[in-house]
Structure 1
Amino acid sequence: MKSAIVAALAGLAAASPTRLIPRGQFCGQWDSETAGAYTIYNNLWGKDNAESGEQCTTNSGEQSDGSIAWSVEWTWTGGQGHVKSYPNAVVEIEKKTLGEVSSIPSAWDWTYTGNGIIANVAYDLFTSSTESGDAEYEFMIWLSALGGAGPISNDGSPIATVELAGTSWKLYQGKNNQMTVFSFVAESDVNNFCGDLADFTDYLVDNHGVSSSQILQSVGAGTEPFEGTNAVFTTNNYHADVEY
């Protein structure tokens, strides 16, 4: 009996180690977890563009004021110029038109560390002319463009410069398949954002032909990694709400 136990232990020692995933951490391509009114996604939608890499997201949970904290660790190599993922938090909302949205107050305190990071930190909003239809517009608000990351653009040049939420932004326009994409890119990093996202959507309605009858389908906040190693993106505090 003793020899059998010794043999079994020897077999365990020889086996390849399995990575232990801490509580609250998830690493699968489409894994997600909820935290209060938010769903946090790992979202490795572009992982096949990488030569190698991995990513895990950690849900640190809802805080007493209803905000959330979460983080993501990633390494992606190869596939220059291609986004590998969009780990993000999406707040639960009613699907109403931009004209019915009175405000989208949000606050976001974040940090980023790592080596050779090419990535953004960005809000991502989608709209459509119908509640369940494919997205027709994507509105991105880049709080940071690390390592030379750049937005989707028709010609690489901004179409406007605008002052919103106390920050100067370059506005870019481009197409992603059927979607028209507008990207506001901050001229310097905004590590602690506090503002009304409706100011950005209202600007597009008033100045760039977006219809106020477009239905807001989702409001997300996260990071799009292109390349880098040992990256850690930490959201210390995040809150967003859509008011009508």
Structure 2
Amino acid sequence: MQLKKTIIGFTTLATAASVVLASPLMKRDEFCGQWDTEESGNFKIWNNLWGQDSGSGSQCTEVLKVEDNTISWKTSWSWSGGQYSVKSYANAEYLFDPVQLSGLSSIPFTWNWKYTGGGDPFVCNVSFDIWTASSESGDYEYEIMIWLAAIGGAGPLGDEVGKFSYGGIEWSLHEGSNGVQPVYSFIAGSKVENMDSDAFPFLSHLVEKGYLSNDQYLRSVQAGTEPFEGTDAVLETSTYKVQIK
């Protein structure tokens, strides 16, 4: 059974350039509050329990290591109830100045991750969440997701509108709405735990198909997980790095 995530809205997240640190930052204490964050190097790590009221449970996130433009981090969670609703989106947001899609050439990234635990049922995704707008400030206008894994029957918003083959993987493209912005979700045909690739061709595909304007500004690039249900689940990212070129 495919599950549909429901989103009430999303608070605009301001981004800013950050100085790359020359020496590594090692493991910090975990943080568990609804909107707790930690900035390290070029990243802002979010616990982000935005949908916690749709069920019950808890989640904590911690930064394990940051060195130059590479981060390792993990989040641990248990959620029950509201089986069709996303409870949170723990993620690593890359900090950069907004840039128009027409001025981009690539968004190279490496993401190595692994899930343990989860129990039964265990329903979640592992995904990029990318936001664009027609200006450098103000509200986001489009949400673009790239799902590296749909676990336990988790499904995206909307209906399938096409296929996209890239990086040796066939992705299904879904079009929907979170109630505020149009949402375009690319879903990998099978779980991808280690990926060294480029996110820009996904945006280019949307432009080519007329779903997205080349005049849009890239405003936020986040990488994390959306839990629906599970017990003692742990997502650990051993390596994550991304650039905006």
Normalising to structure 2: TM-score of the pair? 0.86
Query: Following superposition, which runs of at least 4 residues in structure 1 exceed 6 angstroms of deviation?
Result: none
Corresponding residue for residue 92 of structure 1: 95
Give the unaligned 5+ runs of structure 2: 1-26
Matches within 5 A, 1:103-114: 103-114=106-117
Deviations 1:175-230 (A, max 9, x none): 11231100000000010011110010011101133100001110000000000001
Q: How many percent of aligned residue pairs carry the same amino acid?
A: 47
Deviations 1:57-92 (A, max 9, x none): 0111213x5310000000000011000000000011
Partners of 2:150 and 2:221 in 1: CA distance: 20
Residue 159 of structure 1 aligns to a residue whose secondary structure is: strand
Partners of 2:61 and 2:238 in 1: CA distance: 14
Computing the radius of gyration over CA atoms, which structure comes out larger, 1 or 2? 1
Residue 144 of structure 1 aligns to a residue whose secondary structure is: strand
Pick from 57, 65, 75 the counterpart of residue 61 of structure 1.
65
CA 1:26–1:185: 2 relative to 1, 3 Å: same
Give the unaligned 5+ runs of structure 1: 1-21
Corresponding residue for residue 177 of structure 1: 179
Partners of 2:168 and 2:139 in 1: CA distance: 33
* CA shift for structure 1 position 23: 4.1
More helix as a share of residues: 1
Residue 155 of structure 2 aligns to a residue whose secondary structure is: coil
Partners of 2:111 and 2:62 in 1: CA distance: 17
Partners of 1:128 and 1:23 in 2: CA distance: 33
Matches within 5 A, 1:31-180: 31-50=36-55, 52-63=56-67, 66-114=69-117, 115-116=119-120, 117-153=122-158, 156=159, 158-180=160-182
Asked whether the equivalents of residues 69 and 242 of structure 2 are also in contact (C-alpha less than 8 Å), the reply is no
Normalising to structure 1: TM-score of the pair? 0.86
More strand as a share of residues: 2
